[in-house]
Structure 1
Amino acid sequence: MSTSAKQLIPFSQFEQLRTGREIIRTEAEALLSMARELDASFLHAVDSISRCSGSVIVCGMGKAGLIGKKITATLSSTGTRAHFLHPAEAVHGDLGCLHPDDILLTLSNSGETEEILNVIPVAKRLGLSVISITATNHNSLAEQSDIVLPIGRTREACRWGLAPSTSTTAMLALGDALALVVSECKEFQPHNFAQFHPAGSLGQKLKPVAEVMRPRDQLRIASDRETVRQVISQSARPGRRTGATLLVNEEQALTGIFTDSDLARLLESRQDELFDDPIASAMTRHPLTVSASALFSEVVDLLATRKISEIPVVDDQGAPVGLIDITDVIAWLPNEQTPGPHSQEN
């Protein structure tokens, strides 16, 4: 049998695969149906949350509560203050966290969840607006809400149509849509996102270049009027060695870059007289540069796509203030795009 032939799947496994695909298809179709039915109520909810001077208090019970916690996290990380309120704990004292400037966002597929319904009257007395994500406009929760975002009458994806699945997927998608559209209305930018994600790989990617670059006092910087020999003999610096020397003019603006690869090419040419020529004749003129405020992720992309090993960091006057070296970012590069030993080319 050819090694490329597909492996036969026993009937029991085939049924499992078929059922898994059907569950995903059922939930996907529910999302598409909800997307088609999205109307002005969504716009009203976006406007209400965008103008909220307090916090969005998200409230849900059971599986809907777990979805509510994720929506809370998404709102918080995209520029909207949000907190989760457990409805059962709410009526035992936690209602004290509510403030008239807040908005209450409730989640209940049936719209008849007792714990949620017990919270609504208190929230109303405090002056909170209530936005509800529920199946339809015709249930107890919807009738007590200022804005209703219906997910539609969904059939749960399990064999018996009981385990919350399709409904919670719809709630999650609608919550994501709310949070992300609100963030766009607030003109939430990557640098804002970085403020809320300082740790982990995401935090590293969102750092400004100024926080990860090699500073000027660790760089090899020389005048572009000096000879190659002078630059090589005089440009040593303490700290981590970089593979490039930055060349500047009389105004200290960057005019070029001379790399180890450039030096290797001179040695290979066996033209010793070139070492006594101005380095300007051997340097790469007008190299690619970035500002100190650029995101680290942008620099990683540049190194990978342009296949270079160093990027000078310059200020508004074009003077070098730092350098990103390939050895500083190698762990963040896509494997298939890792640059070789060469650097910026002429």
Structure 2
Amino acid sequence: MSTIESILATARKTIQSESESIANLIHYLDEDFAKAVNIIYNSNGRLVVTGIGKSAIIATKIVATLNSTGTPSMFLHAAEAIHGDLGMVQPGDVVICISKSGNSPEIKVLVPLLKRFGNTLIGMTASKSSFLAKESDYVLNAYVEAEACPNNLAPTNSTTAQLVLGDALAVCLMELRNFKSEDFAKYHPGGALGKKLLLRVSDMLDNTHKPFVTPDASIKNVIMEISEKRLGVTAVVENDKIVGIITDGDIRRMLNSRDTFNDLSAKDIMTKNPKMVKSTDMVVDAFNIMENNSITQLVVANEGQYIGIIHIHDILKEGII
């Protein structure tokens, strides 16, 4: 049985081998890559990504990344393409064909058919002398010296290189499209990511729990308001404008320093100029303010007008962070 040390040594060797293969891709980028990006960007059709074997699996991931970043894409399995699915390819579509060797039997059958249709063909291969490379309009060089597999057989470095080139394509297209986080949000409305990108402070406010007192309110009323609304805080409001905030921590500190508070009012213990957010601000930005200032609540106000309180517990319950 292998020792822990030998297992870790093999793992480190694999990661090192793959990282070096990725780093070497920088030297293989050329005008074909830039031209391929421009062709895809200027296309009025879709981007079809095809492959066979492990390259087909990489192709599906590349398609997923492109679709989520503004480039309409679809996956076409090379083997299924020659048995009817080729009808998915329409005039004006750009096709990326992925194959390490560039000489797979399915690729040799598929490529002439794509050429006959007149679609622009971009080949992604580790061999620039392969059939695929010679027949492609543009070649994305995914060359690797060897696989991380000890037998130099199982696709490891080669598929990682394909994946990285696909990511590079997607990022280049994002920059050309000036693709922003709000654009990204449109394609990711669900789950924690969707909430992080879409949820605004106004979406989380509970108007039935909107604690506030006036500056002249007694400390007893302040304590009752904080206790009743259960947010650990109350705003101090005058003429519908925020003038301060009182937290349960402020109450505890006051009680520790005084034997009586009958002569005090809200304005005597409130914190002036509290941290605030607008109701239109993103919830994730509100969370960052809380985290950076080691606080658990934020006053929500629009142009100084009190709207409510947002609490860090509500944010965490939404699973945004």
TM-score (norm 1): 0.80
Q: CA deviation at 1:217?
A: 4.1
* CA-CA distance at 1:163 after TM superposition: 1.3
State which of 312, 324, 328 in structure 1 corresponds to 2:310. Answer: 324
| 8 Å contact from structure 2 (residues 144, 157) kept in 1 | no
CA offsets 1:287-307 (integer angstroms, 9 cap, x no match):
212233433333333322321
Q: Aligned AA for 2:273?
A: H
- Aligned counterpart, 1:262: 250
Partner of 1:221: 212
Which residue in the other structure is 1:184 paired with? 175
Alignment partner, residue 21 of structure 2: 30
1:344 corresponds in structure 2 to none
Q: How many residues end up aligned between the 2 structures?
A: 319
Please give the root-mean-square deviation of Cα atoms over the aligned residues, in Å.
2.9
Shift of 1:221: 3.2
Q: For residue 304 of structure 1, what is the aligned residue in structure 2? A: 291
Shift of 1:118: 3.1
Q: Displacement, 1:14?
A: 4.3
Which residue of structure 2 lines up, in the alignment, with residue 152 of structure 1?
Answer: 143
Inter-partner Cα distance in structure 2 for 1:99 and 1:322: 54
| Equivalent pair of 1:219/1:237 in contact (CA under 8 Å) | no
CA deviations on 1:9-38 (whole Å, 9 max, x unpaired) are x87654444333222222221111112332
Secondary structure of the equivalent of 1:215? Answer: coil
Query: Using the alignment, how far apart are the partners of 1:55 and 1:320 within structure 2?
Result: 49
Aligned partners of 1:48, 1:283: CA distance in 2, in Å?
A: 62
Corresponding residue SS for 2:124: strand
CA contact (8 A) 1:208 1:292 kept: no
CA contact (8 A) 2:49 2:97 kept: yes
Equivalent in 237, 252, 255 of residue 248 of structure 1: 237
The amino acid that maps onto 1:59 is T
> 1:68: how far off?
0.8
**C-alpha distance in structure 2 between counterparts of 1:106 and 1:198, whole Å:** 31
Matched, 1:59 2:50: yes
Match of 2:277 in 1: 290
Alignment check: 8 A CA contact 1:105 1:132 kept: yes
Q: Does the C-alpha gap of structure 1 residues 261 and 146 become closer, same or farther in structure 2, counting only changes over 3 Å? A: same
159, 184, 193: which is aligned to 2:184? 193
Gaps of 5+ in 1: 1-9, 335-346
Per the alignment, residue 4 of structure 1 pairs with none
Distance 1:208-1:32 versus aligned 2 partners, 3 A rule: same
Deviation at 1:64, TM superposition (A): 0.5
More displaced, 14-23 or 83-92?
14-23
Spell out the pairing of 1:1-346 with structure 2 (5 A cutoff): 14-210=5-201, 212-223=203-214, 225-229=215-219, 232=222, 235=225, 241-250=230-239, 252-268=240-256, 269-275=258-264, 277=265, 279-315=266-302, 317-330=303-316
Query: What is the identity percentage for the equivalent residue pairs of Structure 1 and Structure 2?
Result: 34
Contact 2:278 2:301 in 1 (8 A): yes
Q: What's the counterpart of residue 3 of structure 1?
A: none
Instruction: Give the letter for the 2:304 counterpart.
Output: G
- Contact 1:59 1:116 (8 Å CA) reproduced: no
* Paired residue secondary structure (1:162): coil
Whole-Å separation in 1 of the counterparts to 2:309 and 2:37: 43
Q: Which moved more, 1:119-128 or 1:80-89?
A: 119-128
Gaps of 5+ in 2: none
Instruction: Tell me how far apart the structure 1 counterparts of residues 60 and 290 of structure 2 sit (CA, whole Å).
Output: 38
